[in-house]
Amino acid sequence: NLALARPTVCPAVLLELGFMINPQEFEWITDPQAQTQLAQTLAQGLEQWLRQYSPSP
C-alpha cells in the first residue's frame, strides 16, 4: 500500500529496508551505525544514478 506516497505532488519513493517484526532486522534498523551506513549508501547510489541519467550542463 503506497498510501504514504500518494498525497505528494512530487515524485516519491517508499523504501522498506527492514521489518520491525523480524528481530534481526529490528536490531539492524535501530542501530545508529547501521542507519548511518545505510543513509550513506543510499545517497551514493542516488548520486550515481543522477550523474548517469541527468543531462550534462
Q: What is the pLDDT along the chain (57 residues), one digit of tens a residue?
A: 567 667 777 777 788 888 999 999 999 999 999 999 999 999 999 999 889 987 776
Contact assessment for residue 14 and residue 4, using Cβ atoms and an 8 Å cutoff:
yes
Q: Which three cell numbers stand for residue 15?
A: 523504501
DSSP secondary structure, 22-56, as one string: SHHHHHHHT-HHHHHHHHHHHHHHHHHHHHHHSPP
pLDDT at 4: 67
User: What is the predicted pLDDT for the residue at 31?
Assistant: 95
pLDDT at 11: 78
**Which pLDDT value is given to residue 5?**
66
pTM above 0.85, yes or no: no
Give the total number of structural domains in the chain: 1
Domain that holds residue 54: 1-57
